[in-house]
A and B are shown apart, each in its own frame.
Chain A
């Protein structure tokens, strides 16, 4: 696959540097907590407490992009974690068991404690529980409920999440023998909210024609939105990402120029992290991805008031794509397909992500029927490239693009 070199936004270099620094911190700073990414209120709490968070999910993406995941997944499978399990988890367990002396990005350190919420995938409870067994470190668990019908969310869900976060703060303080001052939590929530505000404005810019950013640029910026949530560094970096993108939009500068951008596509589900160059292939064929549900709806959806940080964090834990109804999700997709001038959809049926894949076939059918927009479903996996067929995928993409014209 020959991919034409295109000039990417300069902020990608800043994000790469921030990522390098983050991974360095996960090896050098203590206390270190392994925590998860989706709708997780404990990220801000960790930064407020002076805990360095590390994100095994993010590390799995990095390993996949460097083609290290198959080795780690195979290692986990040797410890009887079968291929039915999410490849993020297998990547992490394989990495943990491997004792790799030269891991990708230098690796992440062993945790001093584990922080988890049940706002992400259900099996993450099993994942973090497994990590507790392996590392024999304390697990602080915020047991937030799944919101299945956001428009009718009972008030007691927020009360409960708030109590859970409050209890988790108490547990962290006891475990580490520290105190987390209110002003530090407010500061973290303020920075996190500022990051989200710029992120939401950034997504709006993607409605411009041509799209100022590609999906790989947006995916990079997700690192800032999630991993650095609650830090001044994250807020400042996202501000920078936004301003550069706004400048590009004002100048009519896109990943493809106006004449080149023939089709604007929507990517559903998580990208193939081991084959991001496929996005370049689409660009070669005149297609951009101004939006994806992965970037648009899962994270960065909750605005928080730093005057009541617990309230904001509680709502954060109950919002995002994993806490929605299929009907609301489809309504949102239909709205944004029109707003972002989308004329085709690539839906990744991701065997490792059941959360985003159950309902995908229904969504695809509804988009076809209600908007008369073609949808291509690609089978794959977000990190384990062993179950990905390049030849079959490319053949299906080529056929899809020919049909698009």
Chain B
């Protein structure tokens, strides 16, 4: 079990080298995309290696300052900075969805400076209706056509159907792993889940699915650890994305656990289950229109997703960890927060995270929050 988890952690920590290696070994083109709203099944079916793009937390942002102002999301700036610095040389292109303002309009900057061979955008629906699904299907078809021109090859319905099955299987396994966090003393830590999800954005999907299968079968054979005293405080962690694992470590050290999350690089990413055996493009459109990211989801639907998570995972408190300058999450927070307090009468807290931020002050606040709920005496 440790071996699979170690491999996943390695893939996350060394993503550029791992991707470079995949490229060298498979000769596959690699295309990056932002957020889990793009159906990577299309890339996989095309024989392209998909990678969901996140910046690495390593060095200050410098080159991107010439293009993107400091009041824009630092993760987007960091991503563009690292592109400009050649840290993602394995990429052959990118697909940028309409999402928050910073990412949406990064497409224009990206296209103008054209660091790679392929670039495309994707309009995603912000409401679910017959008309928006009709549009999204056509929009996905447009991107598929552009990809076919890029690779000079047709993306067949059979290949799409196979990719859908594989991705569904992968998401089901991730859901199952997350469900194991419902145990009183769960076998996986918040960091383990983070590595499982994030490595899935890097590794070949078949390989990752095999790893997850092995991991979960080993878990079934392993005796549950003894129950700690006092019991862990169970948190729902919500925000755009969490990349800084120091946050997860602070939560663990303070006597709490992330019972479930509401992140783009977390539970949101494995929500859609795509219909199998039907028209693949329309099925992908239907499923991906439901991914509950902040930018495409109404507050009432986000609340429904969070309320379901709070109930299913016996959550004791909600920690909103929102990136500075993230308009989307900050817009939803006040009403979501109020609804959660009213419905569940559980404590909540907002912290503001940032790229390479100082963790000291956040640690103090998180520890106090967990202590208030009933965590271990710090």
Contacts and interface: CB of A to CB of B under 8 A. Distances in A.
B253 interface: no
B118 interface: no
Contacts of A362: 67, 109, 112
Given A146-B104, A160-B135, A126 B331 contact: yes
- Best-surrounded residue of B71, B100, B294, B334 (most CB of chain A within 10 A): B71
A148 B324 CA distance: 26
Interface in B275-330: 294-295, 298-300, 324-328, 330
Nearest to A141: B127
Given A84-B325, A84-B327, A129-B299, A358 B66 contact: no
A160 B333 CA distance: 31
- Interface size, B (range): 35 or more
B105 A354 contact: yes
Interface residues of A, number: 45
A332 B299 CA distance: 38
A192 B301 CA distance: 36
B121 interface: yes
Contacts of A81: 330-331, 334
Contact of A85 (B68, B72, B135, B331): B331
A3 interface: no
Given A326-B111, A351-B71, A357-B69, A143 B125 contact: yes
- Best-surrounded residue of A118, A122, A360 (most CB of chain B within 10 A): A122
Interface string A357-375: 1111110010000000000
Contacts of B121: 146, 148-149
Contacts of A125: 126, 295
Contacts, number: 129
Given A80-B334, A133-B299, A143-B132, A355 B101 contact: yes
B108 interface: yes
B249 interface: no
Given A146-B98, A362-B67, A84 B109 contact: no
Contacts of A164: 131
Interface in A120-159: 121-123, 125-127, 129-130, 132-133, 141, 143, 145-146, 148-149, 154, 156
Contact of B102 (A133, A325, A326, A358): A358
Contacts of A167: 129, 131
A82 interface: yes
A213 B119 CA distance: 42
A361 B68 contact: yes
Contacts of A325: 108, 111
A85 B139 contact: no
8 contacts: A81-B330, A84-B330, A121-B101, A123-B328, A125-B126, A154-B142, A327-B112, A354-B102
